[in-house]
Amino acid sequence: MLQKNLDVTLIKVPAHADDHLNNHVDALAKAAHFDSQLSSCLPLELMAPCILQFNSLPVDINIRKFIRDIFDAKSLLTLAVLPRFNSYFSTSDIDWACAKFCLNNNKQFASHRNGRSEFCGFRIKLLLDMLPTLTTLQRRKPHLYDPSWLCPQCNSFPETLDHLWTCPYILPEFSPLNTFKTLLLALRTNYLDKFLSTSSLIPLPDSFVAEFMALDCWNCDPPSFSCLRLARGLIPISLTKFLGNYFSSLTIWSILNTPLHDFHFDLYVQIWLCRSVFFHHWESAQGITKKMKSSALGPSSILCPSTNIPLDSSTPSLATASLDSWVSWVSSSIIRGGSWISHLDFWRRLTVQPLLRISFW
């Protein structure tokens, strides 16, 4: 456009509007399926090159799908470079394409029946490290949540996202750590059975089972970094690279998809929901009300803070996500989500009230 000093105006033509130029373009497009040499008898106003190229290569696939893939890749790259993903580990350790497939390809993920909509929010928040753990709340509202407070369940460590799965708890036999180990080992067994029963590109060696079980992502005592990333839905590249020696990418993704969804649902039900009910009553014990949490007022209007804690600029936060429009949209959708514990009275009466009688401070 700059070299030829062109002034281009884009006009959207409604379908079946009987526009003569649009009809002519449709006729040329249909003719291109049968004849690669288009007619040379074209009006002068239509004599313009229209073969799309990408990196000097002609695009010979569906243009709509090609453009959609480009924007999907752009959004995925924008997500991958967020500080919440690259502050603690290298983004090259994650198979982002597989992680995206597992997050978007499960039909149950889009279901809004039987509380599945809240589970959808849980999976997205888990991936983005936006679950309202105590450390997250301490950054968002330091005037309500004292920065010195530790995990309400064990009172030993800060309640970060990774601590959710490694918390020793006040009752060791009911600790999230033991539950997490059980669920992760069940996931490993499920994956192993599925791959052993699937046709591979080459015969599986006798060492396949031992090598698969020795991958770092299954090391859960204590959980390794690769294991904790898998819990977030970030597929380790070491896992897919090992499986890629024997299976196609599509086969690997399809097998990893559903069991990972079920694993996250078990984490949601067996760890997160129970923790949320407990945390709700712990907040009440600290005098933190729903009105105080929903208030946009500063600390001077609610409490008299003992210290003024600045936010750590190196810590991932919602402010980081707002730099990108796509991530900002996802973030705003998450923030507008419903209550996590409004429907959990049954869980509260069944599990929480007896535990509140135990002194653990």
DSSP for 248-277, written as a single string: -HHHHHHHHHHHHHHHHHHHIIIIIHHHHH
Contact 264, 328 (CB under 8 A): no
pLDDT tens, position by position, 230-264:
999 999 999 999 999 999 999 999 999 999 999 99
Q: Which of 107-116, 118-127, 332-341 has the lowest mean pLDDT?
A: 332-341
Structure tokens at 69: 């893939």
Q: Which of 11-25, 60-74, 170-184, 332-346 has the lowest mean pLDDT?
A: 332-346
* Distance spanning both ends of the chain, measured CA to CA: 71
Q: Of residues 90 and 359, which shows the higher confidence score? A: 90
Name the percent of the chain lying above pLDDT 70. 72
Q: Supply the pTM of this predicted model.
A: 0.64
pLDDT score, position 327:
45
pLDDT score, position 109:
44
How many residues in total does the chain contain? 361
Which residues does 321 contact at the CB level (< 8 Å), separation at least 6? 82, 128, 327, 328, 330, 331
What is d(CA 125, CA 214) in angstroms, rounded to the nearest whole number? 29
Contacts 24+ apart (CB under 8 A), 39-46: 46/21
Average pLDDT rounded to a whole number, residues 22-28: 84
Mean of all residue pLDDT scores within the chain: 75
**Residue found under tokens 């299976």:** 247
pLDDT score, position 254:
93
